[in-house]
Amino acid sequence: MSENKTLNNLMEAFAGEAQANRKYLAYSKKAEKDGKLNAAKLFKAASDAETIHALKHFEVAKKVGSTAENLVDAVAGETHEYRDMYPDFLKEAEREGNKAAAISFTFAMKAEEVHAKLYQEALEQLDAAEEVFYYLCPVCGNIEKYVPEKCSICGIPGEKFIKY
């Protein structure tokens, strides 16, 4: 019974550390924007430290499988988000009249659908030798395999995309 509790604790710790990573990264960007560079650097270092903790907890919990297993898991997670989670969140935001949340949920929902398709494609072409590049929209999180003229989700110019 204690091993199951430990696994639950590892997963709770993973979630907490992953969330802290993103929170501190947001704080770092804000401090940098405010010209508070020492605070920005500290928040960025702490964000990276939280990532180290999260990755170790996830590894110890034995949640990282083969690349094919990880792609199957990613397809399922992204599909759940765009089919189930975000539509519900969007309806609630619209019901409450929270336009900013509705836009945020809409962008994420549309991007998650693209992510699911890209993961499925990567799974189907897992042994392909040709290198693929991906381009990330820094506004909505859309990912393309080419630089578009403009983002198909949020409309920002393609030259703003980040290459991976």
Residue indicated by tokens 């040709």: 130
Report, in angstroms and rounded to the nearest whole number, the Rg of the chain calculated over CA atoms.
18
Spell out the domains of the chain, with CATH numbers in brackets: 2-60 (1.20.1260.10), 65-130 (1.20.1260.10), 133-164 (2.20.28)
Residue 62: left (phi > 0), alpha (psi -120 to 50), or beta? left
pTM: 0.88
- Residue 33 near residue 83 (C-beta atoms within 8 A): no
Query: pLDDT tens across 36-83, in order?
Result: 999 999 999 999 999 999 999 999 999 999 999 999 999 999 999 999
- Residue 135 near residue 143 (C-beta atoms within 8 A): yes
